[in-house]
Amino acid sequence: MPAGDWRSGSALPSHGRGHWFEPSIAHMSAKQPKAIYLSRIDRNIGDRESAVALRRSELNALCSDSQMTAAGGPFFEGVHLDLTQPELWPEFSEIAYVGGGGLVGPRPFEAGWAALKERGIPVVVWAIGHNFSRHQAKESVYYELTRQSNVFVRERCHCSGKPPIPCPSMFSPQFAHTRARSQLIGIYEHANRKLPLSNSRRLNNKTTELSLVLDAIARNWLTITNSYHGALWARRLGRRAISVDRFTDKFSCIPRIRGEEFMSTTMNASTSEAVDSLAKFVEMHFPTTKL
Protein backbone atom coordinates (compact mmCIF):
# COMPACT_ATOMS: atom_id res chain seq x y z
CA MET A 1 0.00 0.00 0.00
CA PRO A 2 2.00 3.04 -1.19
CA ALA A 3 2.02 6.06 1.06
CA GLY A 4 0.69 8.21 -1.75
CA ASP A 5 -2.59 6.35 -1.70
CA TRP A 6 -3.37 7.90 1.67
CA ARG A 7 -1.80 11.33 1.45
CA SER A 8 -2.62 12.94 -1.87
CA GLY A 9 -5.57 13.94 -3.95
CA SER A 10 -8.86 15.61 -3.12
CA ALA A 11 -12.29 14.36 -2.22
CA LEU A 12 -14.32 12.85 -5.01
CA PRO A 13 -18.05 13.57 -4.62
CA SER A 14 -18.85 10.67 -6.94
CA HIS A 15 -17.58 8.27 -4.30
CA GLY A 16 -20.31 8.99 -1.80
CA ARG A 17 -21.65 6.21 0.39
CA GLY A 18 -25.33 7.05 0.86
CA HIS A 19 -26.91 10.31 1.99
CA TRP A 20 -26.88 10.15 5.79
CA PHE A 21 -25.52 13.31 7.43
CA GLU A 22 -24.82 14.06 11.09
CA PRO A 23 -26.75 17.21 12.12
CA SER A 24 -23.55 18.71 13.54
CA ILE A 25 -22.15 19.09 10.02
CA ALA A 26 -24.42 22.09 9.51
CA HIS A 27 -22.71 23.87 12.42
CA MET A 28 -19.11 23.31 11.35
CA SER A 29 -16.77 26.22 10.73
CA ALA A 30 -17.07 27.39 7.14
CA LYS A 31 -13.27 27.80 7.01
CA GLN A 32 -12.17 24.38 8.21
CA PRO A 33 -12.14 21.37 5.86
CA LYS A 34 -15.03 18.98 6.28
CA ALA A 35 -13.72 16.08 8.34
CA ILE A 36 -14.91 12.60 9.21
CA TYR A 37 -13.77 10.68 12.28
CA LEU A 38 -13.87 6.91 11.98
CA SER A 39 -13.73 4.28 14.71
CA ARG A 40 -15.63 1.21 15.89
CA ILE A 41 -18.62 2.67 17.70
CA ASP A 42 -20.85 -0.20 18.76
CA ARG A 43 -18.61 -3.01 20.02
CA ASN A 44 -17.50 -2.34 23.62
CA ILE A 45 -16.65 0.55 25.90
CA GLY A 46 -12.91 0.32 25.24
CA ASP A 47 -13.41 0.73 21.51
CA ARG A 48 -15.91 3.55 21.98
CA GLU A 49 -13.86 5.55 24.47
CA SER A 50 -10.66 5.20 22.44
CA ALA A 51 -12.19 7.07 19.49
CA VAL A 52 -10.09 10.14 18.68
CA ALA A 53 -13.29 12.10 17.91
CA LEU A 54 -14.19 12.13 21.61
CA ARG A 55 -10.91 13.74 22.68
CA ARG A 56 -10.45 16.29 19.88
CA SER A 57 -10.44 19.30 22.23
CA GLU A 58 -7.93 17.80 24.66
CA LEU A 59 -5.56 16.81 21.84
CA ASN A 60 -5.78 20.19 20.10
CA ALA A 61 -4.82 21.84 23.40
CA LEU A 62 -1.45 20.06 23.25
CA CYS A 63 -0.47 21.66 19.92
CA SER A 64 2.39 24.18 20.21
CA ASP A 65 2.07 25.52 16.66
CA SER A 66 0.55 28.95 17.25
CA GLN A 67 -0.77 29.36 13.70
CA MET A 68 -2.42 25.95 13.72
CA THR A 69 -3.82 26.59 17.22
CA ALA A 70 -5.30 29.88 16.04
CA ALA A 71 -6.97 27.97 13.21
CA GLY A 72 -8.56 25.59 15.73
CA GLY A 73 -5.88 22.90 15.95
CA PRO A 74 -4.90 20.00 13.67
CA PHE A 75 -7.96 17.98 14.66
CA PHE A 76 -10.70 19.74 12.70
CA GLU A 77 -14.37 19.73 13.58
CA GLY A 78 -16.14 16.76 12.04
CA VAL A 79 -18.67 14.00 12.23
CA HIS A 80 -18.03 10.74 14.10
CA LEU A 81 -18.89 7.59 12.15
CA ASP A 82 -18.28 3.84 12.15
CA LEU A 83 -15.34 2.58 10.07
CA THR A 84 -17.27 -0.59 9.28
CA GLN A 85 -20.18 1.26 7.64
CA PRO A 86 -18.82 3.30 4.71
CA GLU A 87 -22.27 3.26 3.10
CA LEU A 88 -23.41 5.69 5.83
CA TRP A 89 -20.58 8.19 5.44
CA PRO A 90 -21.31 11.69 4.08
CA GLU A 91 -21.02 12.01 0.35
CA PHE A 92 -18.27 14.62 0.63
CA SER A 93 -15.33 14.98 3.00
CA GLU A 94 -11.88 16.56 2.72
CA ILE A 95 -9.90 14.78 5.46
CA ALA A 96 -10.42 11.65 7.54
CA TYR A 97 -9.16 10.78 11.02
CA VAL A 98 -9.11 7.09 11.88
CA GLY A 99 -8.47 6.20 15.50
CA GLY A 100 -9.59 3.73 18.12
CA GLY A 101 -9.24 0.16 19.30
CA GLY A 102 -9.05 -2.87 17.03
CA LEU A 103 -9.40 -1.05 13.69
CA VAL A 104 -6.99 -3.17 11.68
CA GLY A 105 -7.46 -6.71 10.53
CA PRO A 106 -9.74 -8.84 8.40
CA ARG A 107 -13.49 -8.39 8.41
CA PRO A 108 -15.24 -6.12 9.22
CA PHE A 109 -12.70 -3.33 8.59
CA GLU A 110 -11.63 -4.08 5.03
CA ALA A 111 -14.55 -2.25 3.41
CA GLY A 112 -13.85 0.93 5.37
CA TRP A 113 -10.14 1.04 4.51
CA ALA A 114 -10.95 0.35 0.86
CA ALA A 115 -13.52 3.17 0.81
CA LEU A 116 -10.99 5.61 2.28
CA LYS A 117 -8.41 4.67 -0.32
CA GLU A 118 -10.98 5.18 -3.06
CA ARG A 119 -11.86 8.67 -1.85
CA GLY A 120 -8.30 9.85 -2.29
CA ILE A 121 -8.36 12.34 0.60
CA PRO A 122 -5.69 12.90 3.28
CA VAL A 123 -6.05 10.32 6.06
CA VAL A 124 -4.68 10.68 9.60
CA VAL A 125 -4.39 7.43 11.54
CA TRP A 126 -4.21 8.23 15.26
CA ALA A 127 -3.54 5.72 18.05
CA ILE A 128 -5.04 2.77 16.21
CA GLY A 129 -5.06 -0.52 18.04
CA HIS A 130 -4.82 -4.09 16.79
CA ASN A 131 -5.47 -7.59 18.09
CA PHE A 132 -2.56 -9.31 16.36
CA SER A 133 0.34 -11.34 17.56
CA ARG A 134 3.74 -10.04 16.47
CA HIS A 135 3.90 -12.47 13.55
CA GLN A 136 0.38 -11.67 12.36
CA ALA A 137 0.99 -7.91 12.50
CA LYS A 138 3.90 -8.13 10.07
CA GLU A 139 1.67 -9.93 7.57
CA SER A 140 -1.17 -7.41 7.79
CA VAL A 141 -2.19 -3.99 6.52
CA TYR A 142 -1.12 -2.72 9.95
CA TYR A 143 2.53 -3.20 9.02
CA GLU A 144 2.20 -0.99 5.93
CA LEU A 145 0.13 1.62 7.76
CA THR A 146 2.62 2.09 10.57
CA ARG A 147 5.44 2.90 8.16
CA GLN A 148 3.76 6.09 6.92
CA SER A 149 4.37 9.57 8.32
CA ASN A 150 0.69 10.33 8.87
CA VAL A 151 0.21 7.28 11.11
CA PHE A 152 0.64 7.42 14.89
CA VAL A 153 0.52 4.09 16.70
CA ARG A 154 -0.89 3.22 20.10
CA GLU A 155 1.26 0.20 20.89
CA ARG A 156 5.05 0.24 20.88
CA CYS A 157 5.28 -1.02 17.36
CA HIS A 158 7.62 -3.86 16.56
CA CYS A 159 6.74 -3.29 12.89
CA SER A 160 7.88 0.29 12.37
CA GLY A 161 9.87 1.17 15.47
CA LYS A 162 7.74 4.28 15.98
CA PRO A 163 7.31 5.55 19.54
CA PRO A 164 3.78 4.96 20.83
CA ILE A 165 1.20 7.55 21.78
CA PRO A 166 -1.44 6.95 24.46
CA CYS A 167 -4.95 5.78 23.78
CA PRO A 168 -7.22 8.86 23.47
CA SER A 169 -9.41 7.47 26.24
CA MET A 170 -6.64 8.37 28.71
CA PHE A 171 -7.44 12.05 28.26
CA SER A 172 -11.04 11.71 29.45
CA PRO A 173 -11.94 14.21 32.19
CA GLN A 174 -13.41 11.26 34.09
CA PHE A 175 -9.91 10.42 35.33
CA ALA A 176 -9.70 13.68 37.26
CA HIS A 177 -12.19 12.50 39.90
CA THR A 178 -10.80 11.35 43.25
CA ARG A 179 -11.73 7.80 44.16
CA ALA A 180 -10.96 5.81 47.30
CA ARG A 181 -10.08 2.13 47.57
CA SER A 182 -12.70 0.06 49.34
CA GLN A 183 -12.13 -3.58 48.38
CA LEU A 184 -9.20 -5.93 47.98
CA ILE A 185 -9.77 -7.60 44.61
CA GLY A 186 -12.14 -7.04 41.69
CA ILE A 187 -12.53 -8.42 38.18
CA TYR A 188 -12.89 -6.52 34.93
CA GLU A 189 -13.34 -8.82 31.95
CA HIS A 190 -14.31 -9.11 28.32
CA ALA A 191 -18.00 -9.89 28.03
CA ASN A 192 -17.25 -12.66 25.53
CA ARG A 193 -14.18 -13.99 27.37
CA LYS A 194 -15.38 -14.50 30.92
CA LEU A 195 -12.71 -15.39 33.45
CA PRO A 196 -13.22 -18.67 35.37
CA LEU A 197 -13.01 -16.95 38.75
CA SER A 198 -15.59 -16.98 41.54
CA ASN A 199 -15.20 -13.39 42.70
CA SER A 200 -18.63 -11.71 42.53
CA ARG A 201 -17.18 -8.19 42.35
CA ARG A 202 -16.89 -8.09 38.61
CA LEU A 203 -17.72 -5.88 35.66
CA ASN A 204 -17.34 -6.41 31.91
CA ASN A 205 -16.58 -4.22 28.91
CA LYS A 206 -20.19 -4.05 27.76
CA THR A 207 -20.77 -1.49 30.51
CA THR A 208 -21.97 1.70 28.81
CA GLU A 209 -20.56 4.41 31.12
CA LEU A 210 -16.83 5.01 31.52
CA SER A 211 -17.39 6.50 34.98
CA LEU A 212 -18.83 3.18 36.20
CA VAL A 213 -15.81 1.26 34.95
CA LEU A 214 -13.31 3.70 36.47
CA ASP A 215 -15.20 3.70 39.79
CA ALA A 216 -15.07 -0.10 39.88
CA ILE A 217 -11.35 -0.31 39.05
CA ALA A 218 -10.41 2.49 41.44
CA ARG A 219 -12.19 0.74 44.35
CA ASN A 220 -9.87 -2.24 44.00
CA TRP A 221 -6.46 -2.61 45.52
CA LEU A 222 -5.93 -5.14 42.74
CA THR A 223 -7.88 -5.67 39.52
CA ILE A 224 -7.69 -8.95 37.63
CA THR A 225 -8.45 -8.34 33.97
CA ASN A 226 -8.24 -9.79 30.47
CA SER A 227 -9.13 -6.41 28.96
CA TYR A 228 -6.42 -4.23 27.43
CA HIS A 229 -8.28 -1.09 28.46
CA GLY A 230 -8.96 -2.50 31.91
CA ALA A 231 -5.21 -2.85 32.51
CA LEU A 232 -4.47 0.51 30.85
CA TRP A 233 -7.07 2.43 32.84
CA ALA A 234 -5.85 0.86 36.08
CA ARG A 235 -2.37 2.24 35.33
CA ARG A 236 -3.82 5.67 34.63
CA LEU A 237 -5.71 5.57 37.94
CA GLY A 238 -2.57 4.57 39.82
CA ARG A 239 -3.96 1.13 40.67
CA ARG A 240 -2.44 -2.32 40.40
CA ALA A 241 -3.72 -4.77 37.80
CA ILE A 242 -2.87 -8.30 36.75
CA SER A 243 -3.47 -9.14 33.09
CA VAL A 244 -4.51 -12.74 32.44
CA ASP A 245 -5.72 -14.61 29.35
CA ARG A 246 -3.59 -12.34 27.13
CA PHE A 247 -5.10 -13.06 23.73
CA THR A 248 -3.11 -10.40 21.87
CA ASP A 249 0.41 -9.03 21.76
CA LYS A 250 -0.66 -5.52 22.75
CA PHE A 251 -0.84 -6.34 26.48
CA SER A 252 2.96 -6.38 26.61
CA CYS A 253 2.98 -2.75 25.40
CA ILE A 254 1.26 -1.32 28.49
CA PRO A 255 3.78 0.77 30.49
CA ARG A 256 4.58 -0.49 33.98
CA ILE A 257 4.54 2.96 35.57
CA ARG A 258 1.34 4.26 37.19
CA GLY A 259 -0.52 7.40 38.20
CA GLU A 260 1.09 10.83 37.82
CA GLU A 261 4.32 9.40 36.40
CA PHE A 262 2.25 7.71 33.71
CA MET A 263 0.52 11.01 32.99
CA SER A 264 3.69 13.09 32.66
CA THR A 265 6.05 10.74 30.83
CA THR A 266 3.74 8.56 28.78
CA MET A 267 0.87 10.88 27.97
CA ASN A 268 1.60 14.58 27.73
CA ALA A 269 5.18 14.50 26.43
CA SER A 270 4.76 11.87 23.73
CA THR A 271 1.33 13.12 22.68
CA SER A 272 2.43 16.76 22.38
CA GLU A 273 5.26 15.74 20.07
CA ALA A 274 2.89 13.65 17.95
CA VAL A 275 0.29 16.44 17.76
CA ASP A 276 2.96 18.87 16.52
CA SER A 277 4.05 16.33 13.92
CA LEU A 278 0.44 15.95 12.84
CA ALA A 279 0.11 19.74 12.58
CA LYS A 280 2.88 19.74 9.95
CA PHE A 281 1.08 17.04 7.96
CA VAL A 282 -2.22 18.93 8.12
CA GLU A 283 -0.53 22.23 7.24
CA MET A 284 0.88 20.60 4.10
CA HIS A 285 -2.65 19.85 2.85
CA PHE A 286 -4.54 22.77 4.41
CA PRO A 287 -2.25 25.81 4.89
CA THR A 288 -3.26 27.83 7.94
CA THR A 289 -3.17 31.01 5.86
CA LYS A 290 -6.25 29.71 4.05
CA LEU A 291 -8.16 28.48 7.11
Residue 225 to residue 5: CA distance in whole angstroms: 39
The total number of residues shown for the chain amounts to 291
What is the model's pLDDT at position 270?
A: 79
> Beta-strand (E) ranges in 143-267?
151-153, 183-189, 202-204, 220-225, 240-243
What is the model's pLDDT at position 255?
A: 60
Residue 30 to residue 176: CA distance in whole angstroms: 34
3-class secondary structure, 288 = helix
What is the model's pLDDT at position 262?
A: 59
What is the model's pLDDT at position 220?
A: 94
Domain 4-171+266-290 in CATH 1.10.510: no
Q: Are 209 and 270 contacting, i.e. CB atoms less than 8 angstroms apart?
A: no
Residue ranges covered by each domain of the chain: 4-171+266-290, 173-258
What is the model's pLDDT at position 128?
A: 80
pTM of the model: 0.80
What is the block-wise mean pLDDT of the chain (291 residues), using blocks of 10 residues?
38 34 41 87 87 94 90 93 93 91 72 88 84 52 58 61 79 91 92 82 90 95 91 90 71 59 64 89 85 67
What is the model's pLDDT at position 18?
A: 33
Q: Please count the other Cβ atoms lying within 10 Å of the Cβ belonging to residue 3.
A: 14
Whether the upstream peptide bond of residue 74 has omega within 30° of 0, thus cis, is no
Long-range contacts, stretch 73-76, CB < 8 angstroms, 24+ apart: 73/279, 74/275, 74/278, 74/279, 74/281, 74/282, 75/278, 76/32, 76/33, 76/35, 76/282
Q: Please count the other Cβ atoms lying within 10 Å of the Cβ belonging to residue 289.
A: 8
What is the model's pLDDT at position 12?
A: 35
Which H or E run includes 114? helix 110-119
Report the Cα–Cα distance between both ends of the chain, in Å, rounded: 30
Amino acid at 57: S
